[in-house]
Amino acid sequence: MPQQVTARLPDPLVDALDSAARQLRRSRADVIRQAVERYLQDFDDLSIAIQRLRDPGDPVLDWDRVRRELLDSD
């Protein structure tokens, strides 16, 4: 069974939430649930990207060189 979570939001954010929910024909809960799911997916992707950037064994590519190679590959 899903757990209930309570959060306090500033009035302008609630107004925007209600407006989005009306436009989407969804409940506040549906909009919040979807927003949290997307945020957490983005957070996971960002965490992986940061780990890779910090990995000293992962090669660093020179953008100018990659660009030249891609453009000259025709």
CA distance 5 to 10: 17
Residue entry with tokens 């799911």: 37
Q: What pLDDT, on the 0 to 100 scale, is given for residue 74? A: 61
Neighbours of 21 (CB within 10 A): 16
pLDDT in tens, 18-66: 999 999 999 999 999 999 999 999 999 999 888 888 888 888 888 899 9
Within a domain: 60:
yes
CA distance 52 to 1: 36
Q: Say if pTM beats, i.e. exceeds, 0.75.
A: no
CA distance 2 to 36: 14
Domain holding 41, by residue range, is 11-71
Within a domain: 6:
no
Within a domain: 29:
yes
Within a domain: 5:
no
Judged against a pLDDT cut of 90, whether residue 5 lies above it is answered with yes
